[in-house]
């Protein structure tokens, strides 16, 4: 199997980039979400219970317990963490020496700390996925970076490099769990749109048959292809890689899913190898294969197996989804030809074998690493490598066992058959989110019209003005904005709130209360430029909310949306209204703590306030794209400087040779540059004359 030095570096850079986006995006929303005047103040989540310091930290693992020691409240501590996280991630993205386990450990700890106080606004699956991926990056990152940027030559092994493939295998296992579970839950949910092949991620106005075919492709890529991640034939793994990339790129083009799809693309680097990413073909490899008939026979058998796999996938797709070509309409018709019971039985049959597949693949990785350890030369290097290999090997196996518990949630029978030790391990570290269950887009919403909550304000209770959000659908004439990789967390929760009554989203009552109070941090979540907010001069006296259903307009029609009123979502309330007070008490949203006396700000708090003042005029997507532009500019400068540094190194080496003693100069010249040139030819001619 080819090495994975370059893919590991791509993975580490990708994780750093996603951390940078996640931290910067969250930073812009902290005052409105978690500040003292925010929707869900963070200081309410951290209340000392009289426990010991370390017990308290273990039960609620967040660095924000230390914020008071720095003279900061919880929200300010969260701002500090997100700023430091952004800077550290930016450094790891740009500077190779900063791609160190300690840096990724700090990034993971900072994001875990934020999730502990994030409440409902940080309960998304991509936050859990980022935490799990970030912890794996701690294990993948090398303890010591090589002096040069090239991978070590094949056949020359060292204790520092032989074990690095073990934790990187866990990245591949995570990608498998994510994709397989996401595909399975679409069918186990019994969602009629998935079963009817009418839920699609392609453009809305494409033909229906193409929508159905795209759903078939989704099931193929998410359910049938993931087992190929562990195929012994590298071309099968590369084919699986390109299918995953295709799916994620199409989703990015047609939807706003913040950094989730970018993070999934980062995980796909575990399917690559150095040979595939090299600049040119490996001619020596092809030469060896052509001169060795056993290897040629093995290559032929591998090709036959590869073709058999492709044929099996094609047959299964045609058979189970009834693909037929309609030559008259120039279309491909499709339908599901199996029942829910048949799929449940199939899932019960294959889930446990996929666990065995993972075990077999991990065992092969362990044996390969052990064989490399045997080849290490030198007893000291061998001893050091044995210690590192033991630690990483045990950690890899433990994380694999822990991950089996959330993975087995896709099939109840498999969950019950797992080893009890795996359950105990998972229970012990569950709060650290080292392994999570996944199942994205279980049910498709908005097929019969996308439900949306529209807030309205009024001064007299008779004339109402809509309060439009920056990112969610509202004004029917406004096109959907492009905001990747930013995640507007309030707008996302507004979409979830529209799926049920307002009592299922207690935070919504707090949002109404803050808008009635005219709190600027919350207003900035709705409209970053306060002047665009219709009640920026004076808060509304009354606020209510209506539920609408939205549909895309047809080509050629005016506007981007059609909408229809459905029902009242939240009744009209004002400050002091008994209904509002009752809801605040019911959901525990009243601030019972006495107001704190204003104390002079410390230097750190003043610095945080200054940074916030400088960055607040920027819209979050602009800030994130600015960071990306800065990274691109630095990369260009680094690329331009690399040839100059190389030339300077050659010049310095030449000066060194010039200043060397003249004794045996001809021999030294020949050893330094074996290629024939005028100087070396002259030296050899002089020797012959002598």
159 C-beta neighbours (distance < 10 Å), count: 20
Which residue among 335, 370, 403 closes a domain?
335
Per-residue pLDDT at 684: 39
Same domain, 244 and 111: no
Same domain, 84 and 207: no
Same domain, 468 and 331: no
Same domain, 577 and 516: yes
DSSP 223: I
Facing residues of 570 across strands?
Answer: 545
Task: Please report whether residue 554 resides in a domain.
Answer: yes
What is the mean pLDDT of the segment spanning 257-284? 83
Distances (CA, A) of 598 to 443, 527, 601, 604, 605: 49, 28, 9, 16, 13
**Cα 320 from Cα 338, distance rounded (Å):** 7
**Span of 312-321, 405-414, 621-630, 636-645 with lowest mean pLDDT:** 636-645
Same domain, 508 and 552: yes
Asked if residue 674 has pLDDT above 50, the reply is no
**Span of 145-149, 434-438, 516-520, 537-541 with lowest mean pLDDT:** 145-149
DSSP H helices in 332-378: 340-374
Q: Which of 609, 470, 457, 612 is nearest to 530 (CA)?
A: 470
433 C-beta neighbours (distance < 10 Å), count: 22
Task: Please report whether residue 248 resides in a domain.
Answer: yes
Per-residue pLDDT at 294: 80
| Confidence tier at 30 by pLDDT (50, 70, 90) | very high
Asked if residue 265 has pLDDT above 50, the reply is yes
Task: Please report whether residue 12 resides in a domain.
Answer: yes
State pLDDT tens for residues 204-260.
Answer: 667 888 888 888 999 999 999 999 999 999 999 999 999 999 999 988 888 888 899
Average pLDDT, the chain: 86
User: Cα dihedral sign for 185, 191, 195, 196?
Assistant: negative
Same domain, 476 and 570: yes
Distances (CA, A) of 275 to 1, 285, 353, 389, 635: 10, 10, 30, 25, 24
Asked if residue 683 has pLDDT above 70, the reply is no
Asked if residue 146 has pLDDT above 80, the reply is no
Q: How many domains does the chain have?
A: 4
Distance in angstroms between the alpha carbons of the first and the last residue of the chain: 53
User: Cα dihedral sign for 9, 12, 16, 18?
Assistant: positive
What is the mean pLDDT of the segment spanning 515-541? 94
State pLDDT tens for residues 279-337.
Answer: 555 544 555 445 577 888 888 889 999 999 999 999 999 999 999 998 888 888 999 99
Same domain, 275 and 133: no
Task: Please report whether residue 646 resides in a domain.
Answer: yes
Task: Please report whether residue 382 resides in a domain.
Answer: no
Same domain, 464 and 582: yes
Same domain, 506 and 648: no
Task: Please report whether residue 156 resides in a domain.
Answer: no
The 3-class secondary structure across 135-189, one letter per residue, is HHHHHHCCCCCCCCCCCCCCCCCCCCCCCCHHHHHHHHHHHHHHHHHHHHHHHHC
**Span of 212-226, 526-540, 633-647 with lowest mean pLDDT:** 633-647
What is the mean pLDDT of the segment spanning 546-574? 90
Task: Please report whether residue 522 resides in a domain.
Answer: yes
Task: Please report whether residue 404 resides in a domain.
Answer: no
Q: Which domain holds residue 532?
A: 450-591
**Span of 67-81, 314-328, 450-464, 647-661 with lowest mean pLDDT:** 647-661
Same domain, 93 and 209: no
Same domain, 556 and 630: no
Same domain, 2 and 95: yes
Per-residue pLDDT at 374: 87
């Amino acid at each position: 199997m080819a090495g994975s030095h370059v893919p590991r570096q791509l993975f580490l850079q990708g994780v750093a980039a996603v951390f940078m986006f996640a931290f910067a995006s969250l930073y812009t929303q902290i005052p409105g979400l978690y500040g003292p005047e925010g929707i869900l103040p963070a200081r309410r989540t951290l209340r000392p219970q009289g426990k010991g310091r370390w017990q308290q930290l273990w039960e609620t693992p967040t660095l924000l317990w230390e914020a008071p020691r720095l003279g900061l409240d919880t929200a300010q501590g969260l701002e500090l963490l997100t700023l430091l996280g952004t800077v550290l991630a930016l450094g790891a993205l740009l500077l190779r020496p900063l791609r160190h386990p300690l840096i990724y450990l700090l990034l993971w700890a900072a994001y875990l700390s934020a999730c502990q106080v994030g409440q409902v606004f940080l309960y998304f699956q991509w936050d859990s996925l980022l935490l799990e991926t970030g912890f794996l990056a701690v294990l993948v990152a090398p303890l010591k970076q090589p002096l040069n940027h090239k991978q070590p030559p094949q056949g020359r092994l060292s204790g520092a490099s032989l074990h690095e493939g073990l934790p990187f295998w866990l990245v591949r296992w995570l990608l498998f769990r994510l994709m397989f579970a996401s595909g399975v839950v679409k069918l186990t949910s019994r969602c009629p749109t998935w079963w009817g092949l009418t839920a699609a991620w392609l453009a809305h106005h494409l033909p229906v048959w193409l929508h159905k075919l795209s759903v078939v492709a989704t099931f193929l890529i998410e359910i049938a292809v993931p087992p190929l991640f562990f195929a012994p034939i590298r071309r099968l793994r590369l084919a699986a890689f390109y299918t995953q990339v295709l799916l994620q790129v199409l989703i990015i083009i047609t939807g706003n899913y913040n950094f989730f799809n970018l993070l999934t693309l980062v995980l796909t680097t575990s399917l690559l190898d150095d040979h595939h990413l090299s600049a040119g073909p490996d001619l020596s490899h092809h030469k060896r294969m052509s001169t060795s008939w056993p290897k040629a026979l093995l290559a032929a058998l591998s090709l036959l197996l590869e073709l058999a796999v492709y044929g099996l996938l094609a047959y299964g797709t045609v058979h189970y989804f009834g693909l037929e070509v309609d030559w008259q309409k120039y279309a491909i018709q499709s339908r599901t030809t199996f029942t829910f019971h048949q799929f449940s039985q199939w899932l019960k049959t294959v889930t446990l074998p996929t666990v065995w597949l993972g075990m077999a693949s991990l065992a092969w990785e362990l044996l390969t690493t052990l064989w490399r350890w045997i080849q290490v030369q030198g007893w000291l290097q061998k001893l050091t490598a044995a210690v590192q290999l033991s630690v990483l090997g045990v950690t890899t196996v433990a994380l694999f066992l822990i991950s089996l518990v959330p993975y087995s949630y896709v099939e109840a029978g498999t969950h019950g058959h797992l080893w009890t030790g795996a359950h105990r391990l998972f229970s012990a570290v569950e709060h650290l989110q080292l392994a999570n269950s996944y199942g994205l887009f279980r049910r498709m919403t908005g097929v019969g019209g996308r439900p949306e909550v529209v807030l309205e304000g009024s001064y007299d209770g008779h004339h109402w003005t809509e309060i439009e959000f920056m990112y969610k659908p509202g004004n029917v004439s406004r096109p959907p904005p492009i905001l990747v990789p930013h995640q507007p967390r309030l707008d996302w929760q507004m979409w979830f709130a529209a799926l049920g009554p307002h009592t299922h989203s207690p935070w919504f009552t707090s949002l109404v209360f803050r808008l009635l109070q005219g709190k600027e941090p919350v207003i900035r979540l709705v409209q970053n430029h306060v002047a665009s907010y219709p009640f920026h001069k004076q808060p509304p006296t009354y606020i209510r909310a209506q539920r609408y259903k939205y549909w895309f307009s047809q080509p050629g029609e005016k506007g981007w949306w059609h909408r229809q009123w459905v029902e009242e979502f939240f009744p009209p309330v004002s400050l002091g209204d008994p209904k509002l007070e009752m809801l605040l008490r019911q959901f525990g949203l009243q601030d019972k703590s006495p107001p704190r006396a204003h104390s002079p700000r410390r230097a750190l708090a003043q610095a945080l306030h200054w940074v916030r003042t400088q960055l607040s005029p920027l819209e979050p997507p602009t800030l994130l794209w600015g960071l990306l532009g800065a990274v691109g500019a630095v990369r260009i400068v680094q690329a331009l400087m690399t040839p100059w540094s190389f030339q300077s190194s050659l010049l310095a080496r030449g000066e060194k040779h010039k200043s060397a003693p003249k004794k045996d100069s001809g021999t030294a010249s020949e050893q330094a540059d074996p290629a024939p040139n005028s100087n070396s030819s002259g030296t050899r001619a002089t020797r012959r004359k002598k």
